[in-house]
A and B are shown apart, each in its own frame.
Chain A
Amino acid sequence: MILAQVIVNGLVLGGLYSCIAAGFSLVWGVLNIINLLHGSMIILGAYAALFAYQALGIHPYLAVPLVAGVLFCLGYAIQRSVLNRVIGAPVLMTLTLTFGLNLIADNAMIVGFSADFRKLELAHPLGIIDLTDYVDWLDVVVPVDRLVSMSFAFALVLALYVLLRRSNLGRAIVAVRMDQRAAALMGIDIPQIFAVTFGLGAAMAGAAGTLLSLIFPISPLTSPAFLGKAFVICVLGGLGSVSGVLVGGIALGIIESFGALLFGAEYSLTIAFSLLILLLIFRPTGLVGKKAFQ
């Protein structure tokens, strides 16, 4: 039953991928900015979790809200001080600006944390669940840490959904996304909403990084890979909805785990990017999303 194992692996990855892309998609949708800094923020979150565990003994799962809070403040500050100045500027300007910020952040992390790969090893590993113990014919193995991380990731994406749908802040963000001028006329402080939105995107990135630190080795050099996955998920799922991120994330997770089975794990990003280009050529609307022009 290797098929079942592949699907389970894909779902676990997919949960994490949804979490990676949720903040990226939110920022893209509301601010109309492709945040090339997103990968760096994920890695920064992972390092924060690593240090919180090694220096302060805070378990990564408990560190999720802490790291998310820190990253929120950072994102808020970046938006307020830098990005709010270029809102509405041509795509090239915002892209180049976030690329510059990304160079600064990655360089700072290489100097600060070195380019070595590190992995967060728990003092008490959570072990694995072997489903053959419960169902004879189901030969599937699931590491518990991945399972918990996936649950956390889905919970965070759900929390973002609830925030956007049910709170006044969320309604304000959605209103700004729909029609900026009308929102301003309703008394919404647009720069403030932009900053909060970017902060939320950064918080999601930080939370995703914390969850990833338990599973993948991290290094400042891996930030482009995570950013690339966020691109692919947004195009796969279509832009601008939490459901799109979930569909895109799970789809990418399953595609990658099948790709790893068929071609080998080292091809995962190539497969994802080839898929991205093909989708953009033939179906720029994404699997469920709206029209992806502009």
Chain B
Amino acid sequence: MRRAALALAIVAAIVALAFVLDNYALRLATTVLMYVVLALSWNFIGGFAGYPSFATAAFFGLGAYGAGVLQHAGVEMVASWLCGGVLATLFALALGAAILHLRGHYFAIASLVVPDVLREIANVSTSLTGGGMGLNIAVFSTDMTLFTRVFYFAMLTVAVATLTASFAVDRSKLGFGLRCIQQNEDAATILGVNTVLYKVIAFALSGAFVGVAGGIYGSWVNYIDPADAFDVLISVKPIIMVLLGGAGTVLGPVVGAAVFLLFEEAVWRNFLTLHEGLLGAIVVLLVLFLPKGLTGYRAVLRGLVPARLRARS
């Protein structure tokens, strides 16, 4: 009962934000929600199943371009976002069936080059995607406040859907099976887990919501180009967020996404030209000193304090 009240209070607060924050802060909040979608989505395959996927950018770009091209063809905006999600899901199903038999480094590399191939395809299919010139996407309203609020709620809806799916997977047989795969795939097979099916489902889940978010993103920024929509950083940032928050948990990626945006915003504001380098430095420090995420901070403190002092305290 108390937990339900708490959840309700949080939802009310998040909805209220849309009417309290100014447009700039609301844009940031929308970005956090997008990052939550990306991080939770990657968590299905990377956190639960333990497969190091770098394909997030492929799903994002497909969603963005799918929705953008459909809108040019006259499809209504929200419907086009959903179609972007469907496109990304179908692609994830096919790609997953093709490359999920690979493990470790080979899976990572295969998934890493997929966005590159799609980017080049988008670059050369000029008649459909506008090629390197990019694709302009119509602004649905010139009222800036309305515009910002609509995209906040759109991204919020996808984030809540992803979170709900994460909770559902976490508590289901699927989540259990994925954790088995993460720990020991061969043993999981022997115990009767349909590893191929489970992995493909997890991969499709990691594509579906990202595809919708990509579609929304395109309408939100009104312009996409191949280098932006299929940027490798879109694949890497969610991994950093999940590592920050704790892989394989449901709320860890959410916390990671929020912390990551705070950091990114501070860096963007103050060190524009060093942005990527500082991002890299954070990644290095994170992997070296906080490999279990922020929840592992106690281990770091233990490492800093000599054992002798610890025994006394």
Residues of chain A at the chain B interface (Cβ within 8 Å):
28, 32, 34, 82, 85-86, 89-93, 95-97, 99-108, 110-111, 224, 228, 231, 235, 266-267, 269-270, 273-274, 276-277, 280-281, 284, 292-294
**CB pair B113 A97 closer than 8 Å:** no
- Residues of B near A274 (CB, < 8 A) are 117
Q: Which of A93, A107, A276 sits near B113, CB closer than 8 Å? A: A276
B105 within 8 A of A: yes
- Tell me the complex Cα distance, A34–B232, Å: 16
| Nearest A-chain residue to B233, judged by Cβ | A103
- Tell me the complex Cα distance, A108–B117, Å: 27
B98 within 8 A of A: yes
**CB pair A270 B117 closer than 8 Å:** yes
Q: Which of B99, B109, B121, B239 sits near A231, CB closer than 8 Å? A: B109
Max chain A CB contacts within 10 Å: which of B105, B243, B281, B284? B105
Contact flags (1/0) for B38-53 with A, using CB distance below 8 Å?
0000000010001010
**CB pair A91 B276 closer than 8 Å:** no
**Among residues 194 to 249 in chain B, which have CB atoms less than 8 Å away from a CB atom of chain A?**
232, 236, 239-240, 243
Contact flags (1/0) for B9-48 with A, using CB distance below 8 Å?
0000000000000000000000000000000000000100
Contact flags (1/0) for B261-281 with A, using CB distance below 8 Å?
000000000000111110111
Contacts A92-B46, A96-B283, A235-B109 given; indicate if A224 touches B232 (C-beta within 8 A).
yes
Q: Which of B50, B104, B243 sits near A294, CB closer than 8 Å? A: B104
**CB pair B291 A103 closer than 8 Å:** no
B106 within 8 A of A: yes
- Residues of A near B70 (CB, < 8 A) are none
Q: Chain A's nearest CB lies how many Å from the CB of B245?
A: 14
Q: Which of B50, B98, B239, B281 sits near A96, CB closer than 8 Å? A: B239
Q: Chain A's nearest CB lies how many Å from the CB of B162?
A: 21
**CB pair A97 B239 closer than 8 Å:** no
Q: Chain B's nearest CB lies how many Å from the CB of A128?
A: 31
B8 within 8 A of A: no
B114 within 8 A of A: yes
**CB pair B116 A269 closer than 8 Å:** yes
- Residues of A near B103 (CB, < 8 A) are 293-294
- Residues of B near A97 (CB, < 8 A) are 283-284, 287-288
**CB pair A91 B104 closer than 8 Å:** yes
- Residues of B near A267 (CB, < 8 A) are 120, 124
Q: Is the interface of A mostly helix, strand, loop or mixed?
A: helix
Contacts A97-B284, A274-B117, A277-B99 given; indicate if A103 touches B104 (C-beta within 8 A).
no
Q: Which of A93, A95, A111 sits near B291, CB closer than 8 Å? A: A93
Q: Chain A's nearest CB lies how many Å from the CB of B77?
A: 31
Max chain A CB contacts within 10 Å: which of B50, B236, B240? B236
**Among residues 72 to 107 in chain B, which have CB atoms less than 8 Å away from a CB atom of chain A?**
98-99, 102-106
| Nearest B-chain residue to A227, judged by Cβ | B112
B110 within 8 A of A: yes
B282 within 8 A of A: yes
| Nearest A-chain residue to B275, judged by Cβ | A107
Q: Chain B's nearest CB lies how many Å from the CB of A215?
A: 22
- Residues of A near B287 (CB, < 8 A) are 86, 89, 93, 96-97, 100
B108 within 8 A of A: yes
**CB pair A86 B102 closer than 8 Å:** no
- Residues of B near A100 (CB, < 8 A) are 279-284, 286-287
**CB pair B274 A107 closer than 8 Å:** yes
- Tell me the complex Cα distance, A224–B273, Å: 19
- Tell me the complex Cα distance, A280–B286, Å: 31
- Tell me the complex Cα distance, A235–B110, Å: 10
**CB pair B116 A228 closer than 8 Å:** yes
Contacts A276-B113, A294-B103 given; indicate if A95 touches B276 (C-beta within 8 A).
no
- Residues of B near A281 (CB, < 8 A) are 98-99, 110
Smallest CB-CB A-B distances: 3 pairs: A100-B283, A103-B280, A107-B277
Q: A91-B105, A231-B113, A280-B106 are in contact. List 14 more A-B contacts (CB 8 A).
A: A82-B288, A91-B104, A95-B108, A96-B286, A99-B283, A100-B279, A101-B280, A101-B284, A103-B283, A104-B277, A106-B276, A107-B273, A228-B113, A293-B103
- Residues of B near A110 (CB, < 8 A) are 273
Contacts A270-B117, A277-B99, A280-B102 given; indicate if A103 touches B108 (C-beta within 8 A).
no
- Residues of A near B286 (CB, < 8 A) are 96, 100
- Tell me the complex Cα distance, A273–B110, Å: 9
Q: Chain A's nearest CB lies how many Å from the CB of B179?
A: 15
Q: Chain B's nearest CB lies how many Å from the CB of A138?
A: 35
A-B contact pairs, 15 of them (CB 8 A): A28-B105, A92-B52, A96-B239, A96-B240, A101-B280, A102-B280, A103-B283, A104-B277, A107-B280, A235-B106, A267-B124, A273-B120, A276-B109, A293-B103, A293-B104
- Residues of A near B281 (CB, < 8 A) are 100, 104
